[in-house]
Structure 1
Amino acid sequence: MDIPRRSVRYRNSELNDFLRSRSFSRRDTVFGLFGIIAVIGWSYVILMSDALQINEVRATGLQALDETDVTKEVFRILDDRQQWRPWPKRHSWFLDEKALETVLRERLFAANVTVKKHFGQSIDITVEERAKRIIFHSRQQYAWVDLHGIVTSELNETEKKDAQARLLGHRAANANDAPIIKRNLDEGISQGFTTGDVREVKEWIELHDSLRKAGMEFREFTPPTVSSTQLEVLAQNGEEVIMDITASIDMQVKTYQSFKKTDEGEKKLYDYIDVRVPGRVYVKE
Protein backbone atom coordinates (compact mmCIF):
# COMPACT_ATOMS: atom_id res chain seq x y z
CA MET A 1 0.00 0.00 0.00
CA ASP A 2 1.42 3.36 -1.00
CA ILE A 3 2.01 5.96 1.65
CA PRO A 4 0.45 9.33 0.75
CA ARG A 5 3.09 11.91 -0.18
CA ARG A 6 1.27 14.56 1.78
CA SER A 7 1.74 12.64 4.99
CA VAL A 8 5.46 12.20 4.26
CA ARG A 9 5.89 15.89 3.50
CA TYR A 10 4.25 16.74 6.84
CA ARG A 11 6.61 14.51 8.77
CA ASN A 12 9.63 15.91 6.93
CA SER A 13 8.56 19.48 7.73
CA GLU A 14 8.10 18.57 11.34
CA LEU A 15 11.54 16.97 11.42
CA ASN A 16 13.11 20.02 9.81
CA ASP A 17 11.52 22.30 12.40
CA PHE A 18 12.81 20.08 15.17
CA LEU A 19 16.33 20.02 13.77
CA ARG A 20 16.25 23.77 13.21
CA SER A 21 15.13 24.38 16.79
CA ARG A 22 17.89 22.12 18.06
CA SER A 23 20.41 24.10 16.03
CA PHE A 24 19.14 27.40 17.44
CA SER A 25 19.19 25.93 20.95
CA ARG A 26 22.82 24.84 20.63
CA ARG A 27 23.78 28.20 19.20
CA ASP A 28 21.98 30.05 22.02
CA THR A 29 23.74 27.85 24.54
CA VAL A 30 27.13 28.58 22.99
CA PHE A 31 26.44 32.32 22.89
CA GLY A 32 25.19 32.16 26.46
CA LEU A 33 28.36 30.42 27.62
CA PHE A 34 30.51 32.95 25.78
CA GLY A 35 28.49 35.74 27.45
CA ILE A 36 28.98 34.26 30.91
CA ILE A 37 32.70 33.80 30.29
CA ALA A 38 32.96 37.40 29.04
CA VAL A 39 31.15 38.75 32.12
CA ILE A 40 33.37 36.71 34.45
CA GLY A 41 36.47 37.78 32.55
CA TRP A 42 35.64 41.48 32.60
CA SER A 43 34.58 41.26 36.24
CA TYR A 44 37.94 39.70 37.07
CA VAL A 45 39.76 42.42 35.14
CA ILE A 46 37.80 45.13 36.97
CA LEU A 47 38.24 43.54 40.40
CA MET A 48 41.97 43.00 39.92
CA SER A 49 42.68 46.29 38.18
CA ASP A 50 45.43 48.38 39.73
CA ALA A 51 43.42 51.48 38.83
CA LEU A 52 40.91 50.60 41.56
CA GLN A 53 43.38 49.70 44.30
CA ILE A 54 44.23 52.33 46.92
CA ASN A 55 47.85 53.44 46.71
CA GLU A 56 47.60 57.02 47.99
CA VAL A 57 46.44 58.42 51.34
CA ARG A 58 45.94 62.17 51.74
CA ALA A 59 45.80 63.13 55.43
CA THR A 60 44.78 66.53 56.78
CA GLY A 61 44.40 68.02 60.27
CA LEU A 62 47.70 66.55 61.45
CA GLN A 63 49.69 68.24 64.20
CA ALA A 64 51.93 65.82 66.08
CA LEU A 65 51.24 62.91 63.72
CA ASP A 66 53.25 62.45 60.53
CA GLU A 67 51.44 61.84 57.23
CA THR A 68 53.82 59.00 56.38
CA ASP A 69 52.98 57.22 59.65
CA VAL A 70 49.25 57.67 59.03
CA THR A 71 49.61 56.24 55.51
CA LYS A 72 51.53 53.22 56.80
CA GLU A 73 48.86 52.63 59.45
CA VAL A 74 46.07 52.73 56.84
CA PHE A 75 47.82 50.18 54.61
CA ARG A 76 48.64 48.01 57.63
CA ILE A 77 44.97 47.93 58.62
CA LEU A 78 43.82 47.09 55.08
CA ASP A 79 46.48 44.43 54.49
CA ASP A 80 46.10 42.71 57.88
CA ARG A 81 42.38 41.97 57.53
CA GLN A 82 41.83 38.23 57.89
CA GLN A 83 38.46 37.77 56.17
CA TRP A 84 38.72 36.06 52.78
CA ARG A 85 37.57 38.07 49.77
CA PRO A 86 37.84 37.43 46.00
CA TRP A 87 39.19 40.93 45.39
CA PRO A 88 42.39 42.66 46.58
CA LYS A 89 42.34 43.94 50.16
CA ARG A 90 43.02 47.51 49.01
CA HIS A 91 40.17 47.62 46.47
CA SER A 92 38.47 51.00 46.77
CA TRP A 93 34.99 49.78 45.76
CA PHE A 94 34.69 47.55 48.81
CA LEU A 95 36.32 49.81 51.39
CA ASP A 96 34.22 50.12 54.55
CA GLU A 97 34.84 53.75 55.51
CA LYS A 98 33.16 53.53 58.94
CA ALA A 99 35.08 50.41 59.93
CA LEU A 100 38.37 52.02 58.89
CA GLU A 101 37.50 55.18 60.86
CA THR A 102 36.85 53.13 64.00
CA VAL A 103 40.17 51.27 63.82
CA LEU A 104 42.14 54.42 62.97
CA ARG A 105 40.67 56.30 65.95
CA GLU A 106 42.02 53.56 68.21
CA ARG A 107 45.38 53.07 66.46
CA LEU A 108 46.14 56.80 66.16
CA PHE A 109 44.55 57.66 69.53
CA ALA A 110 42.59 60.40 67.77
CA ALA A 111 39.50 62.27 68.94
CA ASN A 112 37.91 61.74 65.54
CA VAL A 113 38.80 60.36 62.10
CA THR A 114 36.87 60.85 58.86
CA VAL A 115 37.56 58.72 55.77
CA LYS A 116 36.37 59.63 52.27
CA LYS A 117 37.01 57.34 49.31
CA HIS A 118 36.97 58.34 45.65
CA PHE A 119 36.49 54.96 43.91
CA GLY A 120 39.97 55.25 42.52
CA GLN A 121 43.48 54.99 43.85
CA SER A 122 43.26 57.58 46.65
CA ILE A 123 41.39 58.22 49.89
CA ASP A 124 41.18 61.37 52.03
CA ILE A 125 41.56 61.14 55.80
CA THR A 126 40.85 63.98 58.23
CA VAL A 127 42.27 63.51 61.73
CA GLU A 128 41.30 65.40 64.86
CA GLU A 129 44.21 64.68 67.17
CA ARG A 130 44.26 64.30 70.92
CA ALA A 131 47.05 65.56 73.16
CA LYS A 132 50.14 63.38 72.92
CA ARG A 133 51.53 64.38 76.32
CA ILE A 134 50.28 65.79 79.61
CA ILE A 135 51.54 68.01 82.41
CA PHE A 136 51.71 65.96 85.60
CA HIS A 137 51.28 68.09 88.73
CA SER A 138 52.42 66.54 92.01
CA ARG A 139 52.67 68.94 94.96
CA GLN A 140 55.18 71.58 93.80
CA GLN A 141 56.48 69.60 90.83
CA TYR A 142 55.42 69.88 87.19
CA ALA A 143 56.60 67.36 84.60
CA TRP A 144 55.96 66.37 81.01
CA VAL A 145 54.58 62.84 80.71
CA ASP A 146 54.26 60.90 77.45
CA LEU A 147 51.50 58.50 76.39
CA HIS A 148 53.33 55.62 78.10
CA GLY A 149 53.08 57.37 81.46
CA ILE A 150 56.82 58.10 81.61
CA VAL A 151 58.21 61.44 82.78
CA THR A 152 60.29 62.82 79.90
CA SER A 153 61.41 66.02 81.63
CA GLU A 154 60.39 68.64 84.15
CA LEU A 155 58.86 71.86 82.87
CA ASN A 156 61.35 74.65 82.31
CA GLU A 157 60.80 77.96 84.08
CA THR A 158 58.77 79.51 81.26
CA GLU A 159 56.55 76.43 80.94
CA LYS A 160 56.15 76.23 84.71
CA LYS A 161 55.06 79.87 84.98
CA ASP A 162 52.53 79.33 82.20
CA ALA A 163 51.12 76.23 83.92
CA GLN A 164 50.87 78.09 87.23
CA ALA A 165 49.06 80.96 85.49
CA ARG A 166 46.45 78.43 84.38
CA LEU A 167 46.20 76.90 87.86
CA LEU A 168 45.76 80.31 89.47
CA GLY A 169 43.04 81.21 86.99
CA HIS A 170 45.04 84.04 85.44
CA ARG A 171 44.37 82.62 82.00
CA ALA A 172 42.05 79.97 80.62
CA ALA A 173 43.35 76.92 78.81
CA ASN A 174 43.01 76.84 75.04
CA ALA A 175 42.61 73.93 72.63
CA ASN A 176 46.37 73.59 72.12
CA ASP A 177 47.26 73.44 75.83
CA ALA A 178 48.30 70.11 77.29
CA PRO A 179 45.99 68.73 80.01
CA ILE A 180 47.17 69.31 83.58
CA ILE A 181 46.66 66.20 85.68
CA LYS A 182 47.03 66.48 89.44
CA ARG A 183 48.01 63.62 91.68
CA ASN A 184 49.94 64.31 94.87
CA LEU A 185 52.51 61.55 95.26
CA ASP A 186 54.53 60.71 98.37
CA GLU A 187 57.74 60.68 96.35
CA GLY A 188 59.42 63.13 94.03
CA ILE A 189 59.25 62.70 90.27
CA SER A 190 62.12 62.92 87.81
CA GLN A 191 62.96 61.84 84.27
CA GLY A 192 62.09 58.17 83.74
CA PHE A 193 59.56 58.06 86.59
CA THR A 194 56.35 56.14 85.79
CA THR A 195 53.18 58.05 86.65
CA GLY A 196 50.79 55.47 85.20
CA ASP A 197 50.44 52.96 82.39
CA VAL A 198 49.36 53.59 78.79
CA ARG A 199 45.72 52.83 79.57
CA GLU A 200 45.60 55.29 82.47
CA VAL A 201 47.23 58.15 80.56
CA LYS A 202 44.87 57.69 77.62
CA GLU A 203 41.91 57.64 80.00
CA TRP A 204 43.10 60.93 81.54
CA ILE A 205 43.33 62.56 78.13
CA GLU A 206 39.90 61.20 77.16
CA LEU A 207 38.44 62.61 80.39
CA HIS A 208 40.03 65.98 79.61
CA ASP A 209 38.48 65.93 76.12
CA SER A 210 35.08 64.85 77.49
CA LEU A 211 35.04 67.76 79.95
CA ARG A 212 35.98 70.28 77.28
CA LYS A 213 33.42 68.86 74.86
CA ALA A 214 30.74 69.17 77.55
CA GLY A 215 31.58 72.87 77.92
CA MET A 216 33.35 72.66 81.27
CA GLU A 217 35.93 75.39 81.88
CA PHE A 218 38.56 74.11 84.28
CA ARG A 219 42.18 74.47 85.34
CA GLU A 220 43.16 70.88 86.15
CA PHE A 221 41.63 67.69 87.51
CA THR A 222 42.53 64.82 89.81
CA PRO A 223 41.65 61.49 88.15
CA PRO A 224 40.17 58.55 90.06
CA THR A 225 42.43 56.12 91.88
CA VAL A 226 42.37 52.39 91.18
CA SER A 227 39.76 51.82 93.90
CA SER A 228 37.59 54.87 93.15
CA THR A 229 35.47 56.41 90.39
CA GLN A 230 35.61 59.94 91.84
CA LEU A 231 36.81 62.72 89.54
CA GLU A 232 37.80 66.05 91.14
CA VAL A 233 37.76 68.98 88.73
CA LEU A 234 39.17 72.40 89.60
CA ALA A 235 36.77 74.73 87.78
CA GLN A 236 37.96 77.94 86.17
CA ASN A 237 36.41 79.97 89.02
CA GLY A 238 38.40 78.01 91.63
CA GLU A 239 35.62 75.70 92.85
CA GLU A 240 36.21 71.99 93.13
CA VAL A 241 33.55 70.00 91.29
CA ILE A 242 33.20 66.34 92.24
CA MET A 243 31.99 63.95 89.53
CA ASP A 244 31.74 60.22 88.90
CA ILE A 245 33.38 58.78 85.77
CA THR A 246 30.83 55.94 85.57
CA ALA A 247 28.03 58.47 84.99
CA SER A 248 27.55 60.82 82.06
CA ILE A 249 30.18 63.56 82.20
CA ASP A 250 28.01 65.72 79.96
CA MET A 251 25.01 65.50 82.31
CA GLN A 252 27.12 66.23 85.40
CA VAL A 253 28.63 69.30 83.73
CA LYS A 254 25.14 70.51 82.81
CA THR A 255 24.00 69.97 86.41
CA TYR A 256 26.91 72.07 87.69
CA GLN A 257 26.32 74.82 85.13
CA SER A 258 22.58 74.91 85.86
CA PHE A 259 23.24 75.20 89.60
CA LYS A 260 25.66 78.11 89.08
CA LYS A 261 22.89 79.99 87.27
CA THR A 262 20.55 79.78 90.27
CA ASP A 263 20.43 82.47 92.98
CA GLU A 264 22.09 80.14 95.45
CA GLY A 265 24.80 79.12 93.01
CA GLU A 266 25.59 82.65 91.86
CA LYS A 267 25.88 84.30 95.24
CA LYS A 268 29.21 82.73 96.27
CA LEU A 269 32.05 80.35 95.52
CA TYR A 270 31.94 77.02 97.32
CA ASP A 271 34.74 74.80 98.60
CA TYR A 272 33.27 72.01 96.55
CA ILE A 273 30.13 71.15 94.60
CA ASP A 274 29.19 67.47 94.33
CA VAL A 275 27.07 66.57 91.28
CA ARG A 276 27.46 62.78 91.36
CA VAL A 277 23.85 62.04 92.32
CA PRO A 278 21.44 62.66 89.39
CA GLY A 279 19.04 65.52 90.13
CA ARG A 280 20.85 66.59 93.29
CA VAL A 281 23.66 69.01 94.15
CA TYR A 282 25.63 68.89 97.40
CA VAL A 283 27.81 71.82 98.40
CA LYS A 284 30.34 72.73 101.07
CA GLU A 285 30.78 76.40 101.91
Structure 2
Amino acid sequence: MIGFFLFTPLLRLKTYRIDGAEFIGADVIERAARASLAGRKMLVIPKDHLFFFSEEQLSQTLFDQFRLDRLDVERQGRELHLRVAEKISRVVWQAGEHLYVVDEYGIVLNELDTLAEDHAVTMIRSLREETPAPGERVLDAKTMSYLLDLLLLLREGPLNPVSLEVDSTETHFLRVNMEDGYAVFFDPTVPMNEQLDRLVDMLKSESANPSSYEYIDVRFGERVYIKNR
Protein backbone atom coordinates (compact mmCIF):
# COMPACT_ATOMS: atom_id res chain seq x y z
CA MET A 1 0.00 0.00 0.00
CA ILE A 2 2.82 2.42 0.88
CA GLY A 3 4.60 1.51 -2.34
CA PHE A 4 1.48 2.29 -4.37
CA PHE A 5 1.07 5.65 -2.59
CA LEU A 6 4.68 6.65 -3.26
CA PHE A 7 5.14 5.43 -6.82
CA THR A 8 1.79 5.42 -8.60
CA PRO A 9 1.75 7.82 -11.60
CA LEU A 10 -1.71 8.91 -10.48
CA LEU A 11 -0.13 10.90 -7.64
CA ARG A 12 2.53 12.65 -9.71
CA LEU A 13 2.39 15.94 -11.59
CA LYS A 14 1.35 15.48 -15.18
CA THR A 15 0.88 18.85 -16.88
CA TYR A 16 2.47 22.27 -16.46
CA ARG A 17 0.81 25.58 -17.31
CA ILE A 18 2.88 28.76 -17.58
CA ASP A 19 1.27 32.21 -17.64
CA GLY A 20 2.90 35.64 -17.89
CA ALA A 21 6.03 34.68 -19.83
CA GLU A 22 7.04 37.47 -22.21
CA PHE A 23 10.66 37.29 -23.33
CA ILE A 24 11.40 33.95 -21.70
CA GLY A 25 9.49 31.29 -23.60
CA ALA A 26 6.85 29.38 -21.62
CA ASP A 27 8.34 26.15 -22.98
CA VAL A 28 11.76 27.13 -21.61
CA ILE A 29 10.31 27.71 -18.14
CA GLU A 30 8.39 24.43 -18.32
CA ARG A 31 11.52 22.47 -19.23
CA ALA A 32 13.38 24.05 -16.31
CA ALA A 33 10.53 23.23 -13.91
CA ARG A 34 10.34 19.63 -15.10
CA ALA A 35 14.11 19.25 -14.78
CA SER A 36 13.98 20.64 -11.24
CA LEU A 37 11.32 18.10 -10.27
CA ALA A 38 12.98 15.14 -11.97
CA GLY A 39 14.65 12.47 -9.87
CA ARG A 40 13.94 11.45 -6.29
CA LYS A 41 14.22 12.77 -2.76
CA MET A 42 16.35 10.65 -0.47
CA LEU A 43 16.71 8.29 -3.46
CA VAL A 44 13.13 7.10 -2.90
CA ILE A 45 10.33 9.67 -3.23
CA PRO A 46 9.72 11.19 -6.69
CA LYS A 47 10.29 14.94 -6.57
CA ASP A 48 7.13 15.54 -8.61
CA HIS A 49 4.90 13.63 -6.16
CA LEU A 50 1.72 15.61 -5.53
CA PHE A 51 2.19 15.58 -1.76
CA PHE A 52 5.96 15.87 -1.52
CA PHE A 53 7.12 18.25 -4.24
CA SER A 54 8.91 21.30 -2.84
CA GLU A 55 7.40 24.59 -3.98
CA GLU A 56 10.25 26.44 -2.25
CA GLN A 57 12.97 24.45 -4.02
CA LEU A 58 11.26 24.83 -7.39
CA SER A 59 10.89 28.59 -6.90
CA GLN A 60 14.54 28.96 -5.90
CA THR A 61 15.66 27.03 -8.97
CA LEU A 62 13.60 29.20 -11.33
CA PHE A 63 14.68 32.45 -9.67
CA ASP A 64 18.31 31.35 -9.97
CA GLN A 65 17.92 30.40 -13.62
CA PHE A 66 15.76 33.27 -14.88
CA ARG A 67 15.46 36.99 -14.22
CA LEU A 68 12.07 36.92 -12.52
CA ASP A 69 10.37 39.64 -10.53
CA ARG A 70 7.64 37.37 -9.16
CA LEU A 71 6.64 33.71 -9.28
CA ASP A 72 3.39 32.18 -8.02
CA VAL A 73 3.17 28.39 -7.80
CA GLU A 74 -0.19 26.65 -7.55
CA ARG A 75 -1.10 22.98 -7.88
CA GLN A 76 -4.51 22.16 -9.34
CA GLY A 77 -4.95 18.41 -9.27
CA ARG A 78 -2.11 16.97 -11.35
CA GLU A 79 -1.45 20.29 -13.06
CA LEU A 80 1.23 22.69 -11.85
CA HIS A 81 0.33 26.29 -12.60
CA LEU A 82 3.20 28.80 -12.68
CA ARG A 83 2.46 32.52 -12.95
CA VAL A 84 5.60 34.49 -13.71
CA ALA A 85 6.44 38.18 -13.94
CA GLU A 86 9.78 38.88 -15.57
CA LYS A 87 12.25 41.61 -14.82
CA ILE A 88 11.94 42.90 -18.33
CA SER A 89 14.90 44.21 -20.25
CA ARG A 90 13.96 46.17 -23.34
CA VAL A 91 17.35 45.69 -24.98
CA VAL A 92 17.78 43.03 -27.66
CA TRP A 93 21.25 42.15 -28.98
CA GLN A 94 21.30 40.81 -32.54
CA ALA A 95 24.32 38.86 -33.76
CA GLY A 96 23.77 37.39 -37.21
CA GLU A 97 20.47 35.52 -37.13
CA HIS A 98 20.50 35.20 -33.33
CA LEU A 99 18.59 37.43 -30.89
CA TYR A 100 19.47 37.82 -27.21
CA VAL A 101 17.89 39.73 -24.34
CA VAL A 102 20.62 41.67 -22.51
CA ASP A 103 20.47 43.75 -19.35
CA GLU A 104 21.66 47.30 -18.75
CA TYR A 105 25.15 45.97 -17.95
CA GLY A 106 25.59 44.22 -21.30
CA ILE A 107 25.07 40.71 -19.90
CA VAL A 108 23.04 38.13 -21.84
CA LEU A 109 19.89 37.00 -20.02
CA ASN A 110 18.54 34.54 -22.57
CA GLU A 111 18.24 33.85 -26.29
CA LEU A 112 15.04 34.61 -28.20
CA ASP A 113 13.58 32.41 -30.90
CA THR A 114 11.55 35.29 -32.32
CA LEU A 115 10.65 38.85 -31.42
CA ALA A 116 6.97 39.73 -31.32
CA GLU A 117 6.06 42.79 -33.36
CA ASP A 118 4.30 44.42 -30.40
CA HIS A 119 7.44 44.42 -28.25
CA ALA A 120 8.87 47.92 -27.95
CA VAL A 121 12.58 47.23 -27.64
CA THR A 122 15.95 48.80 -28.28
CA MET A 123 17.68 46.77 -30.98
CA ILE A 124 21.49 46.70 -30.91
CA ARG A 125 23.09 44.89 -33.83
CA SER A 126 26.57 43.46 -33.45
CA LEU A 127 28.86 43.62 -36.47
CA ARG A 128 30.58 40.47 -35.22
CA GLU A 129 29.31 36.92 -35.57
CA GLU A 130 28.97 35.59 -32.04
CA THR A 131 26.85 33.16 -30.04
CA PRO A 132 27.09 34.26 -26.39
CA ALA A 133 25.64 32.10 -23.64
CA PRO A 134 23.42 33.40 -20.81
CA GLY A 135 25.60 35.16 -18.25
CA GLU A 136 28.22 36.24 -20.78
CA ARG A 137 28.93 39.92 -21.41
CA VAL A 138 28.56 41.22 -24.97
CA LEU A 139 29.33 44.86 -24.17
CA ASP A 140 30.96 46.57 -21.22
CA ALA A 141 28.64 48.33 -18.77
CA LYS A 142 30.05 51.81 -19.46
CA THR A 143 29.43 51.57 -23.20
CA MET A 144 25.96 50.09 -22.68
CA SER A 145 25.08 52.98 -20.37
CA TYR A 146 26.34 55.42 -23.02
CA LEU A 147 24.16 53.80 -25.69
CA LEU A 148 21.00 53.85 -23.60
CA ASP A 149 21.54 57.46 -22.48
CA LEU A 150 22.18 58.51 -26.08
CA LEU A 151 18.98 56.86 -27.28
CA LEU A 152 17.00 58.57 -24.54
CA LEU A 153 18.32 62.00 -25.55
CA LEU A 154 17.73 61.37 -29.25
CA ARG A 155 14.14 60.31 -28.61
CA GLU A 156 13.49 63.39 -26.51
CA GLY A 157 14.42 65.53 -29.51
CA PRO A 158 13.07 65.55 -33.07
CA LEU A 159 15.05 62.44 -34.08
CA ASN A 160 13.72 58.90 -34.15
CA PRO A 161 16.43 56.22 -33.89
CA VAL A 162 15.33 52.71 -34.82
CA SER A 163 18.44 50.63 -34.13
CA LEU A 164 22.11 50.71 -33.17
CA GLU A 165 25.10 48.93 -34.66
CA VAL A 166 28.27 48.33 -32.68
CA ASP A 167 31.52 46.43 -32.92
CA SER A 168 32.53 45.31 -29.43
CA THR A 169 36.19 45.27 -30.50
CA GLU A 170 36.12 48.83 -31.91
CA THR A 171 35.61 51.35 -29.10
CA HIS A 172 35.28 54.40 -31.38
CA PHE A 173 32.42 53.13 -33.53
CA LEU A 174 28.68 53.47 -32.97
CA ARG A 175 26.14 53.67 -35.77
CA VAL A 176 22.61 54.92 -35.04
CA ASN A 177 20.09 54.17 -37.78
CA MET A 178 17.34 56.77 -38.05
CA GLU A 179 13.75 56.30 -39.14
CA ASP A 180 14.30 58.69 -42.07
CA GLY A 181 16.77 56.23 -43.60
CA TYR A 182 20.12 57.81 -42.79
CA ALA A 183 22.67 56.85 -40.13
CA VAL A 184 24.67 58.89 -37.63
CA PHE A 185 28.14 57.81 -36.50
CA PHE A 186 29.13 58.53 -32.89
CA ASP A 187 32.25 57.83 -30.84
CA PRO A 188 31.31 56.36 -27.41
CA THR A 189 34.65 57.52 -25.99
CA VAL A 190 33.90 61.20 -26.72
CA PRO A 191 31.48 63.24 -24.54
CA MET A 192 27.97 62.69 -25.82
CA ASN A 193 26.73 66.27 -25.59
CA GLU A 194 29.52 67.58 -27.83
CA GLN A 195 28.53 65.21 -30.62
CA LEU A 196 24.80 65.78 -30.14
CA ASP A 197 25.27 69.55 -30.29
CA ARG A 198 27.13 69.22 -33.60
CA LEU A 199 24.40 66.97 -34.98
CA VAL A 200 21.54 69.24 -33.92
CA ASP A 201 23.27 72.38 -35.22
CA MET A 202 23.86 70.74 -38.58
CA LEU A 203 20.27 69.50 -38.90
CA LYS A 204 18.93 72.96 -38.02
CA SER A 205 20.93 74.64 -40.78
CA GLU A 206 19.00 75.89 -43.81
CA SER A 207 20.97 73.67 -46.17
CA ALA A 208 20.21 70.48 -44.24
CA ASN A 209 18.39 67.80 -46.22
CA PRO A 210 18.44 64.57 -44.15
CA SER A 211 16.32 62.64 -46.65
CA SER A 212 19.22 62.83 -49.12
CA TYR A 213 21.87 61.65 -46.65
CA GLU A 214 23.41 58.22 -46.40
CA TYR A 215 25.12 59.11 -43.14
CA ILE A 216 26.27 61.94 -40.86
CA ASP A 217 29.54 61.54 -38.96
CA VAL A 218 30.01 63.68 -35.84
CA ARG A 219 33.01 61.87 -34.35
CA PHE A 220 35.83 64.19 -35.40
CA GLY A 221 36.20 67.42 -33.46
CA GLU A 222 34.20 70.40 -34.70
CA ARG A 223 33.79 68.99 -38.18
CA VAL A 224 30.67 67.19 -39.36
CA TYR A 225 31.01 64.85 -42.33
CA ILE A 226 28.05 64.07 -44.57
CA LYS A 227 27.73 61.48 -47.30
CA ASN A 228 24.83 61.86 -49.72
CA ARG A 229 23.04 58.94 -51.27
Alignment TM-score, normalising by the size of structure 2: 0.48
Indicate the structure (1 or 2) with the bigger Cα radius of gyration: 1
Using structure 1 for the length normalisation, give the TM-score.
0.40
